[in-house]
Amino acid sequence: MRWALGAVARHPRLWPEAVRTLVALSPDGWWRSFPFVPRLDPGHAAWRIATAYGTETAALPEDDLIHYLAWRRKQRSVE
């Protein structure tokens, strides 16, 4: 998921939302085990990719991640 870091790095306004999303999608209790940083569960990430793109090995367009983060940010401001 290094491509995600590069995609988000070019959109500083979305950095806080990217962190919120990462924490929200990380397994409960992620802070209890080393390296003490939130990480996506590989099984969950594979399932999300497969349901969105038809296969777990699909190449994800950077724009999709940016649009998803922008949508989450917008939804937070609507509430």
pLDDT in tens, 43-64: 888 898 899 899 888 878 889 9
> Confidence band (pLDDT; 50, 70, 90) for 1?
low
Statement: residue 79 has pLDDT above 80: no
DSSP secondary structure code for residue 10 in this structure:
T
Statement: residue 2 has pLDDT above 80: no
Residue 74: CA atoms inside 13 Å, Cβ hemisphere, count? 6
pLDDT in tens, 3-32: 788 889 999 999 999 999 999 988 899 889
- Residue pair 39/26 in contact (Cβ under 8 Å)? The answer is yes
Rounded to two decimals, the pTM is 0.80
